[in-house]
Amino acid sequence: MTQIITVTNQKGGVGKTTTAAALVCGLSQRGARVLGVDLDPQGNLGFNLGLDIGSGSTVYDVLKGTCTIEDAIQSTEYGDVLPSDIMLSAAEVEFTVPRREFMLDQQLSAVRSRYDFVIIDTPPALNILTVNAYVASSGLIVPMEAEVLSLVGVTQLQETIETVRDSFNPHLKVIGILINKYNGRLTLSKDILELAQDVAEQLGSRVFQAKIHRGVGVAMAPAHGQTVLTYQPDSRPAQDFQEIVDAVAGERFPRPKQTFRQKYISKFFN
């Protein structure tokens, strides 16, 4: 059965695209069939996965009905991608058809059976694009930084999630809250972690045990059309993300065994 997972937080800069790209890449590395869907008009998911942004059709064309989803999907070495561009920023005004909350779900129905996972990246806003992602999804992953404003963004999601459950998708669940840019030496990080656990309980969820630590490779990888999993696979952030992929992949798609060199580097240099 295909799992459709949306990465979401209305606060910007919390690592949504980084997380979505790492999930697409990490799951593909394990042999899963993966489709990444970019619902952010900035189009960064495709860029992070090595696509030539600006060429070919996009999710905007698909939702407008001027292109089939099969024709818009592009292949990368990390998995398939349904890309986006700035034209999608007009979605709130242009997409006014009845049952517009189901547009993405209807389009994905044509290709869903081809994939084990569909990973959706969303804009930093609670708009019709985000609602479409929630309606189409079986679960949400909510990344946040270990700081107060990021936590506020998570708490504000609760009402939208409950509305979608009540009106469109009763099976929607929050898989977990993911702490990004974590520094366990800081008192603030520890305090925010405790508060995040309280919010997770209210959402009927949890905070992922793995926290994503800071690392320069996370910021540099997109410039090379890669995720940190391939750009710096032995780094601490890459190993953190692999633990998140473990949680999503389950027993169906176990992590590839590390070589002796990888184990050595991971043990002594991270």
Q: What is the chain's mean pLDDT, rounded? A: 90
Q: Which helix (H) or strand (E) holds 174?
A: strand 173-180
Given this model, what pLDDT does residue 260 score? 43
Given this model, what pLDDT does residue 156 score? 82
pLDDT category at 258 given cuts 50, 70, 90 is low
Please enumerate in sequence order all residues whose Cβ is within 8 A of that of 92, keeping only pairs 6 or more positions apart, or say none: 127, 128, 129
- Neighbouring CB atoms inside 10 A of 189's CB total 17
Please give the Cα distance from 26 to 5 (Å, whole number). Answer: 14
Q: β-strands 117-121, 3-7: how paired? A: parallel
Residue type, 86: I
pLDDT category at 263 given cuts 50, 70, 90 is low
What the block records as the tokens of 63 is 């939702």
Could you read off the pLDDT of 53-94 as tens digits, one per residue? 777 899 999 999 999 999 999 999 889 999 999 999 988 889
| Average pLDDT of the segment spanning 92-119 | 94
The reported pTM is 0.92
Question: Does position 46 have pLDDT exceeding 80, yes or no?
Answer: yes
Residue type, 188: L
Given this model, what pLDDT does residue 145 score? 87
Question: Does position 268 have pLDDT exceeding 70, yes or no?
Answer: no
Work out the widest C-alpha separation in the chain, in whole angstroms. Answer: 58
**Location of structure tokens 């977990």:** 176
DSSP 109-158: TTTGGG-SEEEEE--SS-SHHHHHHHHH-SEEEEEEESSHHHHHHHHHHH
Beta bridge partners of 182: 213
Please give the Cα distance from 49 to 224 (Å, whole number). Answer: 9
Please give the Cα distance from 254 to 239 (Å, whole number). Answer: 14
| Average pLDDT of the segment spanning 216-224 | 90
Given this model, what pLDDT does residue 149 score? 80
Please give the Cα distance from 204 to 161 (Å, whole number). Answer: 11
- What residue ranges define each of the domains in the chain, with the CATH number in brackets? 3-269 (3.40.50.300)
Could you read off the pLDDT of 158-204 as tens digits, one per residue? 889 999 999 999 999 999 999 998 887 778 888 888 889 999 998 99
